């Protein structure tokens, strides 16, 4: 089942304000047929020591909860 880009973008848009508050941001880069979502962490999030927690504990967790079929979220350059 292909993931809906609009659905994924909507969830990411819900996360974005909290990242922007801390000087960071997130950008949707790609959605793969296997349920993997690629995002780019930007600003303060790109080099933050806690970026893995933000990625896996925040972005990935929320996408998996809200959108059936999301298997993994990866940060890309």
Beta strand 72-75 pairing with 36-43: parallel
**Domain annotation for the chain: domains and CATH numbers:** 5-75 (3.30.300.130)
For 16-32, what is each residue's pLDDT tens digit?
999 999 999 999 999 99
CA–CA distance from 57 to each of 9, 25, 26, 27, 72 (Å)?
18, 16, 14, 17, 11
Consecutive H or E run containing 43: strand 36-43
Consecutive H or E run containing 19: helix 5-21
For the chain, give the percent of residues with pLDDT over 90: 83
pLDDT at residue number 47 = 85
Local structure of 45: helix, strand or coil: helix
């Amino acid at each position: 089942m292909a993931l809906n880009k609009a659905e994924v973008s909507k969830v990411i848009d819900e996360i974005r304000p909290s990242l922007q508050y801390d000087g960071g941001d997130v950008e949707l880069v790609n959605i793969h047929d296997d349920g993997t979502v690629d995002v780019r962490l930007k600003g303060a999030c790109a080099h933050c020591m806690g970026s893995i927690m933000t990625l896996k504990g925040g972005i990935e967790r929320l996408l998996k909860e809200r959108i059936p079929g999301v298997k993994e979220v990866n940060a890309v350059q």
